[in-house]
Structure 1
């Protein structure tokens, strides 16, 4: 697909014709601490279709990570419904893999042993788990490193192992919570390209949390923009840019148009600031050395 043949209306009509794989109905999450109660997510209604690439963005404190953890089954929600293929989420499941910003690899296990862990926990034989692990290690291009330990790998390599460890379980949904946030810009771009290549070639739906607007526009079919206090859907943006995408696309006027709109959604309103930042104290003087030159 390229700029001359891309039809955004037709592209999204095809997406919406696919089965709904994840549905949130009036989903809310309350946090209680003593007598204090705070609404983290408020009445989220969202349908995500099979093989969509969804990015979730919003200001600090809007509930992006909470939403992904609820979908993963790691956190409970207070009210509403959350369904995968029409079935209610009641806890963690291999059908929903998750990749965090921290690499969360077992430091005492090799690359191969880390990727084998999921299949073994599901009851696969040692031989079957090893074969599955090797297949995914080859896909992520780390076959030369399968016997290395996490401390021997670069940040980008560790995150590729984390992705393989999630995908080896053949999940329906891959949840990614700012997975490239700790990487340097060059490695981050390479990982974005690698992730797009993976998604375009395997049967997976991706829900990707990020605070980086460029990243969201580059990766997503649709961007779910949340507002804070409480966390609610402010707008769902169809990214009407052709696929496959590359870094050069970021220099086009179409990309910059979308970025301007997304930037306004995320940063325009001061009342959506993280409440912890509203009353920052004045810093007392703790040095006798002047900052004047």
Structure 2
């Protein structure tokens, strides 16, 4: 790694000089069930700047997906503030696109029709929606498949269509909740590269939820590490690695240093998260087949 070519301080100073596009102030979400109340997110304070790539990580139950759904306007929050360009989020909006892990395409629509759906819902003419859809289908490299249906596509293709369907609405923020979690490692790696290429060439801020620590380090400008019970920001890590990044970077001492730090943040409290795992019962013998020779 050539440190002369990449100056982390200069890189992050430039990011922090950009306008704040998303701000959470004491953001809290709690659920009541009878007389009990469970806090999922507690007093989150976070500023995300325009065109940042943010990854959100943490142990299961820390509220990663809840946070992304609240930003998308799909779930309410109990207290605090959540602002996009200084305006409170009050529900879903085309300015905040969402891509889930599951393939959420309409199975009865073709690739082109799926991508056209958003513009049509915003009132675009059929010709305008088709033109926009074709442009994004070309960008994601699926022009040969535009008339096929989701069941005819591979997992990676489906997620590219889902990304195009979100981006065709020209959102300010793209929210991605474990979008590559169901893909095989080779396809996942290709999708990560494709996503980075998209982000570097369009005016978009990305908030990416993942369990994969290597993925977070490869993609993010900053990593927001959450702790659970309740979900709070444990640490925000600046990924001081040069771009563009590739899998070979994972072999460097700099990457391994970050990996160790992220691993500690995610797993340090795992024993506290599920006390039911502490005293597991002894399994009774239910077979005559021995594991010993």
TM-score tier (shorter): over 0.9
Aligned-partner Cα distance in 1 for 2:196–2:8: 18
Question: In structure 2, what is the equivalent of residue 273 of structure 1?
Answer: 273
C-alpha displacement of 1:280: 5.0
Aligned-partner Cα distance in 1 for 2:152–2:276: 38
Q: Deviations over 1:137-186 (max 9, x none)?
A: 00000000000000000000000000000000000000000000000000
Question: In structure 2, what is the equivalent of residue 55 of structure 1?
Answer: 55
- Root-mean-square deviation (CA), in Å? 1.6
User: How high is the TM-score relative to the length of structure 2?
Assistant: 0.96
C-alpha displacement of 1:34: 1.8
Matched, 1:40 2:40: yes
- Secondary structure of 1:164 counterpart: helix
Question: In structure 2, what is the equivalent of residue 169 of structure 1?
Answer: 169
Matched, 1:120 2:120: yes
Aligned-partner Cα distance in 2 for 1:130–1:231: 42
Aligned-partner Cα distance in 1 for 2:19–2:28: 24
Identify unmatched segments of 5+ residues in structure 1: none
Question: In structure 1, what is the equivalent of residue 20 of structure 2?
Answer: 20
Question: In structure 2, what is the equivalent of residue 79 of structure 1?
Answer: 79
Deviates most, 55-64 or 30-39: 30-39
Aligned-partner Cα distance in 2 for 1:178–1:274: 22
Question: In structure 2, what is the equivalent of residue 214 of structure 1?
Answer: 214
Deviates most, 19-28 or 281-290: 281-290
User: How high is the TM-score relative to the length of structure 1?
Assistant: 0.96
Identify unmatched segments of 5+ residues in structure 2: none
Question: In structure 2, what is the equivalent of residue 229 of structure 1?
Answer: 229
Q: Any conservation in 1 of the 2:249–2:255 contact (CA below 8 Å)?
A: yes
What are the residue-to-residue correspondences of 1:141-290 with 2, within 5 Å?
141-274=141-274, 277=277, 282-290=282-290
Q: Any conservation in 1 of the 2:59–2:270 contact (CA below 8 Å)?
A: no
Distance 1:159 1:270, change over 3 A: closer
Question: In structure 2, what is the equivalent of residue 29 of structure 1?
Answer: 29
Distance 1:31 1:248, change over 3 A: same
Aligned-partner Cα distance in 2 for 1:2–1:200: 21
Distance 1:89 1:279, change over 3 A: farther
Distance 1:147 1:276, change over 3 A: farther
Q: Deviations over 1:230-249 (max 9, x none)?
A: 10000000000001111111
Distance 1:18 1:33, change over 3 A: same
